[in-house]
Amino acid sequence: MGKPKISRKRHIAKTITWRIVGSIDTFILATFFSGSLETGGWIAFTEVITKTILYYFHERAWYSYNWKTRNRKRHFSKTISWRFIGTLDTLLLSWIFTGSPIMGLKIITGELITKMLLYYFHERVWYTSNWGVIKAENQSSSL
């Protein structure tokens, strides 16, 4: 049996659901560390744009990568690679909106814990869903 096809709609839906979860988390952490609802709001709002684009391409890249097994190791590896990209984005946005690289470091330190846990469980939930998955046809060769 061949590799199942994953529709772009699935990648878009995963992008949207993750961005909702991720932005709420960023808003809470940025507001907590900066002490400002406005700053937390601007960081979270801006990252909706930047991270939606980055996440979509991250999903497409992982789909293109021919990972031999589809298991927890794959989910863990995706979690690490996404967290690296997401952390850099949050650091830059936090620095821009607070004017302080130290504030950016505080926010991303909190995110390293919360986002990795949230992302891992998000991946596991989507892994159990067949929405947007097109099963590969059984290709038998005839002699």
pLDDT digit string (tens) for 30-61? 999 999 999 999 999 999 999 889 988 998 88
DSSP state of 65: S
Distance CA(41)–CA(39), nearest Å, equals 5
CA distances to 38, 65, 81, 142 from 61, rounded to whole Å, are 34, 6, 11, 34
User: What does the pLDDT read at residue 119?
Assistant: 86
Cα dihedral value 20, 115, 92, 36, nearest 10:
70
User: What does the pLDDT read at residue 105?
Assistant: 97
Angle between helices 8-34 and 37-64 (to 10 degrees): 150
